[in-house]
């Protein structure tokens, strides 16, 4: 058994115990290797020493490179058609990573999506299929049938050979090795690796053969220290609204936050960031309402409602929306809104969407700023965005915005136009593809 230890790199995945495998590459063992990689990353990526602090698992990437070199497949693509094959683990109708995957590939003449469904969850999911048919087109994607990782890997290889694309784009979930391994074989293609928006350890993130793309300058600076072909492609959305907003004094103030349950603290009741506590704090003023978009568990909602009841605040003032199709469309018509991005785990694309409709922002920013997500958030903003860490700073920031709402609305819109507009996004996208 060969034992590949992790590299001594401050941004590398610390695997405990180290990943072990037998490098006798017959088919059964390669399938076991790929299966164990999936399980290993799923088991270790959220450990305290790795979660939000590491980007790479270089030893696993080294193994995939060795597999490529020892398990030869003939790259017999001769004519490259102007097609971009997007290799994804999955696509969702909500969530930044999926939406960016579909926006990112708007530059190629044609895009064809291959979903590995590595965990065998979606092949017959009618809701998923309807979403893909509507958003991508029924002839522009392929969900791999249920099977082993090795079977799915061979399906991808055959599809790529059949399509002969000029571009290959990896949007794999962090634990999915078969997108990466398949892409490694096709050196004639221009190959992209898009770092996952959650900025957690990911298979493929250290492979130097790919062009690496990050959503912000901080993560790209880490990437550039190891990989020369690395670019920042700013977050954006495929429409520009650009609307300054003014305060409507006769109407209530609307606080808004967006994110799934894992972006918030629902466990530490005594923490400053305990989400039910923050909601209750902001609703303590009778002229306020609170909107939450994004999926929360029933038990999370119960914690929110219980705390509101304890403080004798009407639960009707907390508006739980769940997942919605368009943040822009829904919140454009809501007056007097202040956006509070999810915390402690941020949400970059939602932040950009609210900037695009001129919404003032209160951004959580810890003073120690020692996680990847907090440093990433810091690189997304400029000095015009108000920051908070304590309850007092949150309340003071809200009052400051209300004292000159039009100014802070203009600041948000100016930041969007300068850094995130779709025209700027397309400019950088053209540079990367061409």
Dump pLDDT digits (tens) for 53-93.
Answer: 777 788 889 889 988 988 877 766 777 788 899 999 988 76
Assess whether pLDDT exceeds 50 at residue 366.
yes
pLDDT of residue 224: 78
pLDDT of residue 4: 31
pLDDT at 415: 93
Tell me what pLDDT residue 198 has.
Answer: 65
| Domain limits, CATH 3.40.50.2000, in the chain | 253-420
Percent over 90 (pLDDT), the chain: 47
For tokens 């979606």, the residue is: 122
Closest-CA residue to 311 (of 279, 269, 275): 279
pLDDT of residue 22: 58
Question: What pLDDT sits at residue 26?
Answer: 52
Q: How confident is the model at residue 16 (pLDDT cuts 50, 70, 90)?
A: very low
The pLDDT of residue 343 is above 70: yes
| Residues 305-322 pLDDT 10s | 999 999 999 999 999 999
Using an 8 Å Cβ cutoff, are 52 and 373 in contact?
A: yes
pLDDT confidence tier of residue 5, bands split at 50, 70 and 90: very low
Nearest CA-CA partner of 86 in 170, 163, 162, 142 = 170
| CA-closest candidate to residue 241, choices 342, 363, 330 | 330
Whole-number pLDDT of residue 107: 65
Inform me whether the pLDDT recorded for 6 exceeds 50: no
Least-confidence region, from 183-192, 233-242, 260-269:
233-242
Report which secondary-structure segment, H or E, holds 153.
Answer: helix 149-163
- At 286-302, the pLDDT tens digits run 899 999 999 999 999 99
Q: Which residues contact 194 (CB under 8 A, 6 or more apart)?
A: 100, 101, 104, 169, 170, 171, 213
Tell which wins on pLDDT, 160 or 216: 160
Q: What integer best gives the mean pLDDT of the chain?
A: 85
Between 116 and 219, the more confident residue is: 116
- Give pLDDT, residue 95: 65
Q: Lowest-confidence range among 24-28, 259-263, 297-301, 370-374?
A: 24-28
Q: Is the pLDDT of residue 52 over 80?
A: no
pLDDT in the model for residue 105: 65
In the CATH scheme, what architecture does the domain 253-420 have?
3-Layer(aba) Sandwich (3.40)
Residue, of 414 and 219, whose pLDDT is higher: 414
Task: Of 43, 377, 339, 38, give the one whose Cα is nearest residue 199.
Answer: 377
Chain centroid, CA 202 distance in Å:
12
Structure tokens at 193: 């690796």
pLDDT score of 193 more than 90:
yes
pLDDT for 27? 59
Residue 25's pLDDT band (boundaries 50, 70, 90)?
low
* pLDDT value of residue 357: 92
* CATH code for the structural domain at 1-233: 3.40.50
Closest of 263, 129, 153, 143 to residue 197, by C-alpha: 263
| Residue partners of 345: CB distance under 8 A and separation at least 6 | 52, 198, 259, 262, 263, 264, 373
Separation between Cα atoms, residue 134 and residue 128, nearest integer Å: 10
Got the DSSP string for 362-407?
A: EEE--SS--SHHHHHHHHH--TTSEEESSHHHHHHHHHHHHHTHHH
Q: What is the pLDDT of residues 109-123, one digit of tens each?
A: 688 999 999 999 876
Give the pLDDT of residue 3. 32
């Amino acid at each position: 058994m060969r034992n590949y230890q992790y590299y001594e790199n401050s941004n590398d995945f610390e695997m405990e115990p180290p990943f072990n495998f037998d490098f006798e590459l017959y088919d059964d063992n390669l399938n076991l290797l790929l299966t164990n990689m999936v399980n290993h990353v799923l088991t270790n990526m959220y450990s305290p020493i790795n979660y939000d602090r590491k980007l790479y698992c270089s030893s696993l990437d080294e193994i995939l490179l060795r597999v490529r070199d020892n398990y030869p497949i003939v790259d017999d693509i001769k004519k490259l058609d102007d097609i971009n094959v997007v290799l994804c683990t999955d696509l969702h109708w909500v969530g930044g990573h999926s939406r960016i995957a579909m926006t990112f590939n708007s530059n190629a003449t044609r895009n064809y999506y291959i979903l590995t469904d590595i965990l065998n969850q979606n092949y017959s999911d009618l809701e998923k299929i309807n979403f893909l048919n509507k958003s991508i087109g029924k002839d522009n994607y392929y969900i791999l049938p249920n099977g082993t990782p090795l079977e799915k890997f061979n399906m991808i290889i055959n599809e790529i050979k059949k399509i002969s694309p000029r571009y290959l784009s990896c949007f794999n979930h962090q634990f999915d090795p078969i997108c990466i391994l398949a892409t490694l074989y096709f050196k004639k293609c221009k190959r992209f690796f898009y770092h996952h928006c959650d900025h957690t350890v990911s298979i493929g993130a250290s492979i130097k053969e790919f062009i690496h793309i990050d959503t912000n300058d901080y993560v790209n600076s880490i990437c550039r220290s190891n990989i020369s072909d690395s670019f920042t492609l700013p977050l954006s959305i495929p429409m520009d609204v650009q609307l300054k907003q003014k305060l409507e004094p006769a109407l209530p103030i609307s606080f808004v936050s967006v994110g799934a349950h894992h972006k918030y603290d629902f466990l530490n009741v005594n923490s400053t960031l305990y989400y039910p506590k923050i909601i209750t704090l902001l609703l303590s003023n009778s002229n306020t309402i609170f909107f939450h978009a994004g999926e929360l568990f029933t038990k999370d909602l119960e914690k929110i409602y219980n705390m509101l009841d304890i403080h004798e605040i009407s639960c009707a003032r907390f508006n739980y929306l769940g997942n919605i199709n368009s943040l822009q469309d829904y919140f454009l018509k809501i007056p007097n809104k202040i956006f509070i991005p999810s915390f402690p785990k941020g949400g970059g694309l939602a932040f950009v969407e609210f900037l695009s409709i001129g919404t003032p922002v209160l951004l959580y920013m810890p003073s120690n700023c020692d996680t990847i997500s907090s440093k990433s958030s810091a690189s997304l903003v400029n000095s015009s965005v108000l920051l908070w860490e304590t309850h007092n700073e949150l309340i003071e920031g809200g009052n400051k915005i209300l004292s000159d709402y039009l100014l802070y609305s203009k600041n948000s819109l100016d930041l969007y136009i300068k850094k995130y507009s779709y025209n700027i996004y397309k400019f950088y996208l053209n540079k990367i593809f061409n």
